[in-house]
Amino acid sequence: SQQGEEDPQALSIQEGENATMNCSYKTSINNLQWYRQNSGRGLVHLILIRSNEREKHSGRLRVTLDTSKKSSSLLITASRAADTASYFCATVHNAGNMLTFGGGTRLMVKP
């Protein structure tokens, strides 16, 4: 079964707008990661945030983590058509690196 739930399941925006995706999980984590997947192919790692961190930035990406609410958000600023993809959050719950993925958010950025 999948640990995380992403919200929304699908998101359609215009180029230049910001996109925000949310992820919730059920049990305590070691870290939380966001991945991107194009057209049902391999996943690409975007950013990792540890349980003792609250916010991380990478280029146009901003990730927040609220462990008290067991939730995270991914913000993509100034979106581009090339950002069109599925975005997944994944949690790590112990010292190993087994990832538990959510169902994903399908983002469409219209030019």
Where on the chain is the footprint of other proteins (CB under 8 A)?
1-2, 4, 30-31, 33, 35, 40-45, 48, 88, 90, 92, 96-104
Specify the residue, 42 or 111, whose C-beta has the smaller distance to other proteins: 42
Write the DSSP assignment of 61-110 as a string of letters. EEEEEETTTTEEEEEE-S--GGG-EEEEEEEE-SSS---EE---EEEEEE
Looking up tokens 């230049």 gives 16
Nearest residue (CB) to other proteins, 70 versus 88? 88
Q: State the minimum distance, in angstroms, from the CB of residue 55 to other proteins.
A: 18
Q: Rounded CA gap, 102 and 4, in Å?
A: 4
At closest approach, how far in Å is the CB of 6 from other proteins?
A: 8
